[in-house]
Amino acid sequence: MNEKRPEAQIHRWLAEPLPSDVRRSIERLAVAEDIQHIAVMPDVHLSGDVCVGLAVATRRLIYPAAVGGDIGCGMAALPFDADADVLRDAAAAATLLKGLQACIPAMRHPRKTMPPELPAHLSDQPLSHSRLERRKSRDGLVQLGTLGRGNHFAEFQADDEGSLWLMLHSGSRGMGQAITQHHLAIAGAGRPASALASIDAASDAGRAYLADATWAIAYAQANRLAMIEAICELAWNLFRIPANRNGLIHCHHNHVQREAHFGQDWWVHRKGALPATAELPGIIPGSMGTASYHVTGRGCEGALCSSSHGAGRALSRGEARQRISQRQLEREMDGVWYDPRLSNALCDEAPSAYKDIGSVMRAQRELTRIDRQLRPLLSFKGG
């Protein structure tokens, strides 16, 4: 008779009771091989085989599904030497939205405007398979400096002192997805369909995944920085407002890395969880119409030094599209500039599709310290 595998230690920081499907998903993960610790963040919600809003520690196995497809997805925030009143009127907001649409593509650059090659630190680092190399030279090139869709955004915000900030959320675009799918196919070969695919970190396959994931993180960072440069140039050309690049905050929330906790070394996977080691700066966004926060980590060991990466979905995209009308979205976005032509496409991104960010922040006071609260002024998303 097979012995029952011991369950992982689970620590929770919750803003509300767990839905039954989320609870079952975490319980399945807890009995998977080599899963030792799970930290559940207050923005946790169902997403594929592993929930968003988890930090997971293993001794030797890597679980690509516990990182997610958008490897390196993360946030950037940048202050401008300007007052937020620059966006007080509709004409200024419309001009900025039009400019953002021109300089930040949602999906890919037109070939006539794309750069001739990837930056050297990306082009010179080979990926583990020729198929991925071909994707790098094709999709990696035309998608560098693009936003993506869904919950990815560029947002202008005001802090409590009335100063102007940019906040950006994007990831590794199609490259992260391609890398994840490639390694999941290798990890899942010969396994039952119900088994969560894993890779031994010390194996050739494990080293290949980790190297490709490191590349995807670098790509995601370069992607955000390329968009920031384009937006800074736009803001200067339109309004003559300079960015304060010394104030840049940059972090990511989908990764796996070696870390020490509880006196041991672990492979810590974060899928929609922000690293929150002591004194580490971070960014926790709300939704299109609600507050966001700049934070500093408190280094809570039980949480694997992690925190939420945002508000977290309260409704799946399908549920949101059924329940939230275009008129409701427009009411919820009162006071925030956005492109009203996209209202129908953005119903699944309405503030009411997300959890209350205030409740999420209160639930994780042990994990992060709030440094700055920001309110949205203008939200730009790909339609």
Average pLDDT over residues 355-376: 98
Residue 111 has pLDDT above 90, yes or no: no
Average pLDDT over residues 114-123: 84
Catalytic residue among 169, 253, 261, 309: 309
Superfamily of domain 9-314+354-380 in CATH is tRNA-splicing ligase RtcB (3.90.1860.10)
Report percent pLDDT > 70 for the chain. Answer: 96
State the residue for tokens 């993506």.
Answer: 148
5-9, 109-113, 176-180, range with the lowest pLDDT: 109-113
Residue 100 has pLDDT above 70, yes or no: yes
**pLDDT tier, 114 (very low <50, low <70, confident <90, very high otherwise):** low
Residue 290 has pLDDT above 80, yes or no: yes
pLDDT of residue 110: 77
At residue 120, what are phi and psi to the nearest 5 degrees? -60, -40
pLDDT of residue 8: 87
**pLDDT tier, 195 (very low <50, low <70, confident <90, very high otherwise):** confident
pLDDT of residue 112: 67
**pLDDT tier, 107 (very low <50, low <70, confident <90, very high otherwise):** confident
Q: Is 309 designated active site?
A: yes
Of residues 277 and 382, more confidence is placed in 277
- List, in order, residues 6 or more apart from 39 with CB less than 8 Å away: 10, 11, 12, 13, 54, 55, 56, 273, 302, 303, 304, 306
Average pLDDT over residues 329-335: 94
Q: What are the extents of the domains in the chain?
A: 9-314+354-380
Q: Among 358, 104, 322, 305, which Cα is nearest to 223's?
A: 104
pLDDT of residue 192: 79
Report percent pLDDT > 90 for the chain. Answer: 90
**pLDDT tier, 109 (very low <50, low <70, confident <90, very high otherwise):** confident
Q: How far apart are CA 248 and CA 170, in angstroms?
A: 16
**pLDDT tier, 116 (very low <50, low <70, confident <90, very high otherwise):** low
pLDDT of residue 5: 60
- The whole-chain average pLDDT of the chain stands at 94
Strand pairing of 35-45 and 9-12? parallel
**pLDDT tier, 7 (very low <50, low <70, confident <90, very high otherwise):** confident
Of residues 112 and 285, more confidence is placed in 285
Residue type, position 147, single letter = L
What pTM was computed for the model?
A: 0.95
**pLDDT tier, 2 (very low <50, low <70, confident <90, very high otherwise):** very low
**pLDDT single digits (tens) 198-247:** 999 999 999 999 999 999 999 999 999 999 999 999 999 999 999 999 99
**pLDDT tier, 1 (very low <50, low <70, confident <90, very high otherwise):** very low
Residue type, position 190, single letter = G
